[in-house]
Chain A
């Protein structure tokens, strides 16, 4: 389909001989705002890694549709807890990393890269914190900087790994509303992975549910959040 940004066909994912997800068939549509949910250890991050190209499928294929003849650009928002707080980086230095893939090997970021990164910080309401050390920001502010970093790469698709993990409801709402604004502003396709039902329930438009048998079911939020669907997916964890 012309509207498909990512097409996943018959994909099996795993590490070595250990299969985590099998026979996945789904598509991510242009302009999607999709939440990926599932029990802990069900393979949410594995799926994200495969979409990012960090994990080669054991079987099947993941096709990324070029945009206007240019290879699809994916912005990745990593889990902020995984970043080392000993690195003395300013918010701007973190944000400009999003440009690193576009600069070319052995070349330093130029003034215009910093200007673009600063513009992305502005879009997420963090320009006034550009010079501050990233590690001194609150969890919500750090998440905004990481979103700015992903935006700095001018992505067609934004993938976020647990973007509201460890946040209170107010901070979660602020981050998710920011993502909705970004999505409606430039029609950026957004896929976020979370184990928090609240983020899915209040903000996702479509939901990909990883079930206990290692498959993925995609549908409208109302359908996927039906109690019996959730119970099926989470049953294995409760046992």
Chain B
């Protein structure tokens, strides 16, 4: 199994997997608690529309996708407190609208659909070194933000009225959270694809919340689960010649199923 580390592209795959797991798994706790789990799926569609648009007009696809992703999350931060509509309705409409726009734009794009999908959804087996460094920088900043602004992020999500009464700017911190999430999701989709990004934004947090008894423990357990499942997935895909992304997703799904079953048996 150690052979894997001697193959350069598999080394990159492993590093990319570890970075994405370290970056997204802690975020997944808040994504689940804030009830925005489908945000990853909706943003992937928005991002794909952006890439198709960029290809159509022959500009840098990732830059357009990044800007659109961050703008979408910025919109979520404004809509989070809306008394008019639950946030999930907005997420659903963005998913539908983004999908339709992507298909319509891809049809008219000068390059082939396969090429666009590769630019958009990335492939964990072909992550370039420059993107690995961009991941390191992005996830380090997002991680530091989560650590140092833990109290602002927590109380803004848990009890916004209390937060405002304490003088904490809930709108500002919601915006910071969603923009950070936007950067993390955009770079993760570019590196490892939409499916793995979406799964890492949900499964580790959901699995951890099944049995932890404290929020601090939820972050530690979610990160550990995300990391172990990703590394196991990379090794399993190498050993059994499976596609890497779906293998990691399958392991994360199994981890969640076991955690959920454990919680159900314990009655928690």
Contact = CB atoms under 8 A, between A and B. Distances in A.
Given A78-B159, A87-B215, A88-B215, A101 B33 contact: no
B165 A54 contact: yes
Contacts of B56: none
B159 to A, nearest CB: 6
Interface residues of A, number: 29
Given A105-B152, A106-B148, 10 more contacts: A54-B165, A78-B161, A86-B33, A88-B212, A88-B215, A93-B214, A97-B155, A100-B151, A105-B149, A109-B151
B168 A101 contact: yes
B262 to A, nearest CB: 15
Interface string A84-107: 101111100100011011010111
Interface of B: 32-33, 147-152, 154-155, 157-159, 161-168, 209, 212-218
B162 A78 contact: yes
A98 B159 CA distance: 11
B160 to A, nearest CB: 9
Contacts of A49: 161
A67 interface: no
A229 B158 CA distance: 39
A82 B158 CA distance: 9
Contacts of A33: none
A20 interface: no
Given A84-B33, A103-B151, A108-B150, A74 B165 contact: yes
8 contacts: A78-B162, A82-B161, A88-B217, A93-B215, A97-B162, A98-B166, A106-B149, A108-B147
A87 B214 contact: no
A66 to B, nearest CB: 15
Contacts of B217: 88
A84 B148 CA distance: 23
Contacts of A88: 209, 212-215, 217-218
Contacts of B150: 108
Contacts of B149: 105-106
A89 B215 contact: yes
B213 A84 contact: no
A87 to B, nearest CB: 5
Nearest to B163: A100
Contacts of A54: 161, 164-165
A76 interface: yes
A83 interface: yes
A178 to B, nearest CB: 19
Counting chain A CB atoms within 10 Å of each CB, which of B147, B165, B168 scores highest? B165
